[in-house]
Each structure stands twice: as structure tokens, then as C-alpha cells.
């Protein structure tokens, strides 16, 4: 978070039962101090679309 990097908490599930394993990732993220604003998986659809548009714009500027 100090570097401004977004993280994403995902279960990496290989079956439907594995979806519940996300609780362990969430607990680890909370223990590490991850906040909603740095957790990509906490973004609303509108926030995600805005973020992706910003990334796309930055990529175009770099090229």
C-alpha cells in the first residue's frame, strides 16, 4: 500500500467448494492492514471501470 499498488483477494478456487476459502485471504489481508481502497476486489463495478479506463489511458501515454 505504501507503493500505491492495488491488491486483489481471491480464493483461487478450482471448485465451487473452494470459493469459501476466500475467508483465509480476507483474514490475512486484514491482518496485514489492507484497506478497501487498495483492494481491487472491493471495488464496485463503476470503480473498477474507472480504474481500468485510467490504466488504459496511462498505457496509451507510455506507448
Q: What are the CA-CA distances from residue 36 to residues 5, 9, 29, 49 (Å)?
A: 12, 11, 10, 16
Residue 47, pLDDT > 90, answer yes
Q: Cell numbers 473498477 label which residue?
A: 48
Instruction: Return the domain boundaries, the chain.
Output: 16-62
Rounded to the nearest angstrom, the gap between the alpha carbon of residue 51 and the centroid of all alpha carbons in its chain is: 11
**What does the mean pLDDT of the chain come to?**
91
pTM: 0.68
The pLDDT value recorded for residue 30 is: 93
Q: What percentage of the chain has pLDDT greater than the value 90?
A: 63
pLDDT band at 59 (very low <50, low <70, confident <90, very high): confident
pLDDT band at 15 (very low <50, low <70, confident <90, very high): very high
Amino acid at each position: 500500500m505504501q507503493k500505491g499498488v492495488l491488491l486483489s483477494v481471491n480464493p483461487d478456487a478450482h471448485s465451487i467448494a473452494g470459493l469459501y476459502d476466500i475467508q483465509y485471504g480476507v483474514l490475512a489481508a486484514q491482518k496485514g492492514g489492507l484497506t478497501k481502497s487498495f483492494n481491487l476486489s472491493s471495488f464496485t463495478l463503476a470503480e473498477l471501470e474507472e480504474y481500468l479506463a485510467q490504466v488504459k489511458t496511462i498505457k496509451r501515454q507510455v506507448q
